[in-house]
Structure 1
Amino acid sequence: MTRIQDPEKRRFHRISFEGSAYVSFDGGAETQVDLLDLSLHGALIRTTGMEAQPAPQQRCTLRVPLTQDLAISMETRVARVEGEETGLVVDRLDLDSAQHLKRLVELNLGDETLLNRDLAALFRRE
């Protein structure tokens, strides 16, 4: 399966972020997942080994540890499920997490114009 899509059709730029994250569905216990990519709009996770696959529109909390003391925490919902890959869309993000996510995207894009375009698209979405 390929995840390459026309970047001109995307409203938000994804950054590759290979590492662990933690997800809890419907307020349940946290489960470790693989974080594949991240954007201002959502995330793509791999749910290898989960007993039950998430359902579209199911609400969940995604926590992305940055350091021992810092993490990005976002309230999300399932946008799509393809095998073990689950696409999440952000519904809510606290201010500290938003600042950390913005900085992470900014550093990885390397282009302030692209970041500003993503931010503008985020506000148009509201």
Structure 2
Amino acid sequence: MGKLNKTEREWQRELSPEEYRITRQKGTEPAFTGQYWNTKQSGTYVCRCCGTELFSSISKYDSGCGWPSFYKPINTTAIEEHDDFSHGMVRTEIVCHHCDAHLGHVFEDGPQPTGLRYCVNSASLQLKTDEKNDEETYP
């Protein structure tokens, strides 16, 4: 699947101002405010901009950071990593491979089996719940 190529005007028409700021302008929502930071429903988290499957609720965990956190993506090819030196920090930004939407950052302080914490803005995601099994996935 090739890159999704839309103009900024198209993105602005399709996304809310907050979604646009976060996904297209590399913004960050305040901790503990996003729609999914404390969601425990089972399902698949897809890219808000293009619908690419990114994370499963099975890999979601409560990291205490105030953003949805996952220890692994559904498929490593769905996410690209870029060095991020903004705000006087050294971090690894994660973006959707298909549409380049800013998702958040990945850190090396997560749980096993990966040791990674994919810290993602809720505004970058949409949860497609499992219709058959809408149980909580973690306590």
Q: Give the TM-score category using the shorter length.
A: 0.3 to 0.5
Higher strand share: 1
Ranked by relative contact order (alpha carbons within 8 Å, sequence separation 6 or more), the top structure is 2
Superposition TM-score, scaled by structure 2 size? 0.30
